[in-house]
Amino acid sequence: MPARADDRQILLPNQLLLGALAAAKGNDWARARELCAQALASAPDHEDALLWQAVWADSWAAKFQALQRVLANNPKHETARVLLNWAQGRQSRGEPVRSAVEAECLTPCPKLGTRDDAGARFTYACPGNHCHAEATRRRPPRDVPTDTQQETCLSANHLACPTYCRVQAAARNAGYQPELRDYFDYFGLDEEPFSIVPIPRFYYPTRQHQEALETCRQVIRHRQGLALVYAHVGMGKSLLLRKLHEELFADTRYRVALLHHPNYASEFAFMEALLQALHETPARRRSLQDLEQALQAYLKQQVLEARKTVVLLIDEAHQMSPRCLAQLRRVLDYHVGEQQMVQVVLAGQLPLAHRLAANPALADRVVARCELRPLGLADAKEMISARLHEAGSANGLFTPAAVHAIVEATEGRPRQINLVCMKCLWEAFADRRHSIDADLVARVARGAGPAEEPAPAEDAKAESGVLSRLRLLWQRGGSN
């Protein structure tokens, strides 16, 4: 049966656009632009064609014009708004016109797929989809709810997904992985179990950490305003905050911003960073008042219209200046009736409590305070075991006496426990040992290297590359 005229009006631009995508995949940008223009000639308001026209544009003016046409027809088009914000930011920094980032923005998350086929991609939410970002031979892919797919995985927002960002960063910095493969295989590991980088998968819920996490959840869930988590350095504040961030980001009821090092020079810089973390670009940015008005408009749209809860997480909050803390108090003052518009969690070292004491107006808004303390022997033992299991090891590796020695040497500080455990594994690999005892822990804790014994001739060459890399990483780790 021949296609009706109205069917052809729908099919023709889509067919032309598919041809344009194929041309772009072959780096034939001129042909891609030509076919995209033909699709728009057939359907001038075709949103997908306009978005790809913006991606392949060879000038900022053409890029902006295409995106503004999409937003003129559909002001709530999230992808067009994100693309426009990115383009404006790059133009303001003097960067050249390019399409790599925008092309990735218009495709689904490459880590999304079915359980049996990690390469499967969909442009619609599907109950059979899974996140393969951190799946390994021992760790199955994670189920992804359809609403999370719709709002994150299948949209431009997947580029801000904490899991996706972490995996992409690891892939970019994976140059050392081949020479460490022998090290991982020796202990039956998929990855380093004791990295001091705060990776949410390695969060171990000790009682005090879980109580702090649940307290923060309650403050956010009931929109009570401000929660505080503080402790000495290395107690797990950053890991707890990233765990909370990952939970909230995956829940479509929330809009969450995470600021890592808030040592901003001014209130203006703080507000700019906050809006950027929320992926919001103000129409005007000449003054602090412009930024405040942009944030208030965003909050009204998200909280009152979209019924979302907006959350601000600030790590290393003890770095905030008195002026930025005063600006945070102004942000917490945003209300509509009895509605608290922003929920805030501050995490920092003990000086944070003193900084808040110097700002009574902000201190009075703290509804929950959580202090993290060193781990006891039982918690440390379980944390070490959980990290090894998460990294793929079926062997405990550390004897009970070794764990006891580690807790004594580190005074129960989680980051130091991880650092000592990591160095113990490196030394055990160098000594070709599969078990770590108290003597090895004592040697590592003293900072002494392994006994100097000549390596067998057949092993020396194979070991030199990986061991030199381990030594370098040890030196870097010891300086943190």
Q: What is the pLDDT of residues 217-241, one digit of tens each?
A: 999 999 999 999 999 999 999 999 9
The candidate with the shortest Cα–Cα distance to 56, out of 30, 87, 91, 22, is 30
Residues 345-366: what's their mean pLDDT?
A: 92
Residues 28-50: what's their mean pLDDT?
A: 84
Residues 391-418: what's their mean pLDDT?
A: 92
Q: Does residue 306 have a pLDDT over 80?
A: yes
CB 134 within 8 A of CB 163: yes
Q: Which band of pLDDT confidence, cut at 50, 70 and 90, is reported for residue 284?
A: confident
Residue 196 is predicted with a pLDDT of 86
Q: Which range among 144-158, 178-192, 466-480 has the greatest average pLDDT?
A: 144-158
CB 240 within 8 A of CB 212: yes
What is the spatial distance between Cα 444 and Cα 420, in angstroms, rounded to a whole number? 7
What is the spatial distance between Cα 442 and Cα 450, in angstroms, rounded to a whole number? 11
Q: Does residue 8 have a pLDDT over 50?
A: no
Percent of the chain with pLDDT over 70: 87
Q: Does residue 149 have a pLDDT over 50?
A: yes
Tokens 């803390």 found at:
325
Average per-residue pLDDT for the chain: 84
Q: Does residue 180 have a pLDDT over 70?
A: no
Q: Which range among 42-51, 283-292, 464-473 has the greatest average pLDDT?
A: 283-292
More reliable by pLDDT, 20 or 347 = 347
CB 74 within 8 A of CB 80: yes
Q: What is the pLDDT of residues 101-133, one digit of tens each?
A: 667 667 788 899 988 888 887 778 888 899 998
Q: Which band of pLDDT confidence, cut at 50, 70 and 90, is reported for residue 151?
A: confident
Per-residue tokens: 331: 């942000």
More reliable by pLDDT, 317 or 51 = 317
Instruction: Count CB neighbours of 59 within 10 A.
Output: 9
Q: Which band of pLDDT confidence, cut at 50, 70 and 90, is reported for residue 259?
A: very high
Maximum separation of any 2 CA atoms in the chain, in Å: 83
- pTM of the complete model: 0.77
What's the full length of the chain, in residues?
480
Residue 27 is predicted with a pLDDT of 76
Q: Does residue 79 have a pLDDT over 80?
A: no
Q: Which band of pLDDT confidence, cut at 50, 70 and 90, is reported for residue 161?
A: confident
Per-residue tokens: 236: 């797990």
Angle, nearest 10°, between helix axes 322-332 and 267-277? 50
Using alpha carbons only, what angle is made at residue 250 by residues 211 and 214, rounded to the nearest 5 degrees?
A: 10
Q: Does residue 321 have a pLDDT over 80?
A: yes
Per-residue tokens: 375: 């781990």
CB 435 within 8 A of CB 397: yes
